[in-house]
Structure 1
Amino acid sequence: MRTSHCAYQVAWTINPHMKVGAVSWSRARAQHRLFRRALRAAGAQLLELPFVHGAYDCVFAKDNAVLLEQEGQKRALLASPVFRERRQEQHARARVLDRLGFDIFSPPPAHFEGGDLVVLPGAHGALLGHGQRSSRHAAVMLEIFLGAPVTPLELKDPHLYHLDTALHVLSDGTALVCREAFTPAALRTLERTEGIHQVLSVPREEALGFGLNLVEVGHTVFVGGPAPWVELLLHAQGRRPVTLPLDQFHLAGGSAACLVSQLHPARQAVRERARPGGVRPEMLDARLGAGPLG
């Protein structure tokens, strides 16, 4: 039975940020609506996914699958989450993506979560965070799916458990990075990765506040809470940071980047999308509750 309790909430603890019962439903709904309006105003196209009954973390749409468009065909590589609390939403997500016209690809045999993948500018490669939630062995299937090299980077901070909480790569190849989140070897690998033009450091305290969990739409970059150093760096790179209140999602361990799943163009489609007047960025986001709640 779907009731008012079938909605986004913190009902379990699977990361260090979570505290059961911490979320205010009304504040979360207001923040999510504001975020959606801001994305659309910046030029993003949004497609809403339904809430999955009993899977309260399904609002973090990025984690479920990697989405790719190649020659007009949409494809989805399903994730293979570590925790059963996230695995329970995968069958429902696969059915919906299939109805939306995606070709569905089975998940890698090794653990992989969407928050650990960062696609590089031009879709010529990607970064895979491993060591907390995802396995570096997932890189093989990701390379086949993306048709591009995938560079594993080892994460070492349990509070920055997904790559998109510790790093953001701007469309010009500038990497904003919390260095404390990575092993020394991973930082050396990042600095010599093709497609990364420069690496700029961000304080750990701002990363812990989800200051690197960003969404870029054109020259606008959405930040899910106060992050003055990140905003300063974004201004210096010619971006327009827009800070939105997403603290109710921080209580579950996510923020702006977690709440949407971008449809990435394949390498051969990037040039077409980059032309003036080209296709607006497409993203999927999830409802916060079942029935009329969302």
Structure 2
Amino acid sequence: MIHEDAEPRVQRPERTATARSVLMCRPEHFTVVYRINPWMDPQLPTDTSLAMSQWDALYRTYLELGFDVQLIDPIEGLPDMVYAANGGFVIDNIAYGASFTYPERQPEGPAYMDWFRRNGFEVAEPEHINEGEGDFLLVGDTILAGTGFRSASDSHLELGRLYGREVVSLTLIDPSFYHLDTALAVLDGTPGREHIAYLPSAFDEPSLGILRARYPDAIIVNDEDASVLGLNSFSDGYNVVIASRALDFERQLRGHGYNPIGVDLSELLLGGGGVKCCTLELRR
């Protein structure tokens, strides 16, 4: 018997998990000895062993989800190499290499390109400044490309020529969200089912107009969750690995039919990175 005062059931969308292949780098040399983003403060102590432990929890989470996890060897003197997403952008077995803005990170570009070559990817060496999947996100058949702080807009044209796909440029305006993957998360990249989440205040008005028009059902994340890099998350279409402190984002994800999985990467946040920063997707 249905009582008249019973609440109607909310129909949640069907979400489908697809196992991913990703590249990661252990934070064996992680520390903060320079400042190239607002999150970094060399005066604050960092704990490399804690960073390793937290990173390992993320690594084990991916294995438990059935992901194929590849590892690149960390290089002493490159403490930010743990943020593998910045090492390139991979679609159709073609790896577009990174060319970093700051000298402190520039040696990472060749190191990642060498790994791609050794592991059977066709490598496209970049002509323009770009920081890989930190600023390039595949949503359906479209590449969303960030600019404003790191990747040059010329790299967006280079991307379009290389992959023959639509590239949509988005301008970031808040220094705390200096890469696109800190301000926007791809929740479902399946063509025809595209779904994202984002922080409106991170974008200029023309970019917001694009996002609102293309993704009217997007999840809007609040400042509090964005401030712990909650949007710097990684989804397989159903399971969404997020910062454990992004509680309202977690609530919204559940309401949209996803399975949020919280992890604590607070030590790596001291370098300005979170879940997605540590994760480069390998699309063969």
TM-score normalised by the chain length of structure 1: 0.82
Q: Between the two proteins, what is the percent identity of the paired residues?
A: 28
Q: Which moved more, 1:18-27 or 1:159-168?
A: 18-27
1:183 match: 204
1:38-49 equivalences in 2 (<5 Å): 38-49=61-72
Moved segments of 4+, more than 6 Å: none
Find out whether 1:204 has 2:226 as its counterpart.
no
The C-alpha deviation readout for 1:248-273, integer Å capped at 9, x for no partner, is 110000000010100135xxxxxxxx
User: Which of residues 120, 132, 141 is equivalent to 2:158?
Assistant: 141
Task: Give aligned pairs, total.
Answer: 253
In 2 relative to 1, CA 211–87 (structure 1 residues): closer, same or farther, beyond 3 Å?
A: same
Q: CA deviation at 1:146?
A: 2.5
Q: CA deviation at 1:23?
A: 1.8
User: Which of residues 172, 176, 179 is equivalent to 1:155?
Assistant: 172
In 2 relative to 1, CA 16–212 (structure 1 residues): closer, same or farther, beyond 3 Å?
A: same
* Alpha-carbon separation, structure 1, partners of 2:279 and 2:225: 21
2:252 match: 233
SS in 2 for 1:126: strand
User: Which of residues 8, 17, 29 is equivalent to 2:39?
Assistant: 17
**Structure 1 unmatched runs, 5+:** 266-294
> Which amino acid letter does the alignment assign opposite residue 105 of structure 2?
R
Indicate if the aligned counterparts of 2:244 and 2:261 stay in contact, CA closer than 8 A. Answer: no
* Alpha-carbon separation, structure 1, partners of 2:187 and 2:133: 18
* Alpha-carbon separation, structure 1, partners of 2:277 and 2:131: 15
| Higher RCO (CA-CA < 8 Å; seq separation 6+) | 1
> What's the Cα RMSD here?
1.7
* Alpha-carbon separation, structure 2, partners of 1:89 and 1:53: 11
The C-alpha deviation readout for 1:156-178, integer Å capped at 9, x for no partner, is 00001111111112113222111
Greater radius of gyration (CA)? 2
Q: CA deviation at 1:227?
A: 0.8
Q: CA deviation at 1:111?
A: 4.0
SS in 1 for 2:254: helix
2:111 match: 92
TM-score normalised by the chain length of structure 2: 0.85
* Alpha-carbon separation, structure 1, partners of 2:167 and 2:159: 7
> Which amino acid letter does the alignment assign opposite residue 87 of structure 1?
Q
Indicate if the aligned counterparts of 1:112 and 1:138 stay in contact, CA closer than 8 A. Answer: no
